[in-house]
Amino acid sequence: MRRLILSVALVGLGVGGGYVLGSQRAQPQAPAVARDRAERAPIVVADRGLSEAELRRVVKEELAAGAPGQPGGQGEGSAREPAKPAPAASPAVLDDGMRRVHQAIAKRQWTRDDATALSRTLEAASPEQRAAILRTLVPALNRGEIKLTYRGDLF
Amino acid sequence: MKRIRVFSLLATLLLPIGAIYAGARSSIEVTVTLDDTGTAISAMGNEADAYNSLDANQYIGCGGTSFSGWCQAHDATADADGLVNAAFCFTSDPVLIAHIRSVAADSFVRFTVDPLTGECVTISVSHNSFYRPKAP
């Protein structure tokens, strides 16, 4: 009888051990789920007993305080960074970017140096210039006319 | 004593049962789709599976700045002249840039490309428990 109990206990130990091992293997996924939930957490307005009129007043005050040029607002010299204006279009920027792309097509390769240089060029380019440069580079990559010589960001 | 040995052996055999029931798992390595002209028009795959793959060629992912974004992918084949084994796209669309921002290290990513302009047409991102994480 004792042997039988001991045997059943051993079988239980085996199954339980296997289950624990399986659970441990599955655990590394958990942080990803948690992170995703954290990133996508909905904005919840806590119920603090504010009436609709009070809420409207608070929102108006906050909007007024945030307007540039308002006394006490978030205008010049405040901690909030103003939106960056779009870069002015300079023909030299477009020329520089297009020259690099055409050189890459001629060499049939895109290097890390090309990527770094193009990244700087795109920062200085206007949206239209940026689109013109990338509409030349990217289709050439997709046709296999240019190969990346490194493993890293495209630009 | 003999019976104990038999049951010990049985317990050892049952040990992997718990490991089998560890949750659903899915592996999606990188694939690149071409159109009739041989131009890459879409790619998909799981970032962690690309990283964990046995070859040294696969990758997939997206990146960008505040004003533009891009996605890129390379399948398992080694580069060769005339072989299209990679796909790229770029975008300045704020909606697509927002999708790019949600890409994590073990995300499934799929993007489609306008072959004439190279612009991203769609970007899909998925995070699920059945995608395995990157191995060290």
The sign one gets for the Cα dihedral B116, B122, B127, B128 is negative
Stretch among A39-43, A143-147, B102-106 having the lowest mean pLDDT: A39-43
CA distance A64 to A59: 9
- Say what the pTM is: 0.64
pLDDT of residue B128: 85
Contact (CB<8Å) B11/A144: no
The answer to whether B124 and B111 are in contact (CB under 8 A) is yes
Kindly list the domain boundaries of chain B, sorted by start residue.
27-126
- φ, ψ at B121 (rounded to 5°): -95, -50
In chain A the beta strands, taken as DSSP E runs, fall at: 109-110, 147-148
CA distance A4 to B4: 8
Nearest CA-CA distance, residue A50 and chain B, Å:
33
Contact (CB<8Å) B18/A26: no
Say whether pLDDT at B53 is over 70.
yes
**Up-side HSE of residue A147: CA atoms within 13 Å toward CB?**
10
pLDDT of residue A82: 52
Contact (CB<8Å) B10/A11: yes
Residue A30: band (very low, low, confident or very high) from pLDDT cuts 50, 70, 90: very low
Nearest by Cα to A19 from B5, B136, B133, B11: B11
Q: Which positions in chain A touch B22 (Cβ < 8 Å)?
A: 22-23, 25-26
Angle, helices A127-142 vs A112-124, to 10°: value is 150
pLDDT of residue A87: 58
Say whether pLDDT at A38 is over 90.
no
pLDDT of residue B20: 53
CA distance B32 to B49: 15
Nearest CA-CA distance, residue B116 and chain A, Å:
6
The DSSP result for A38-52, as a single string, is: HHTPPP--------H
> Is the ipTM beyond the 0.90 threshold?
no
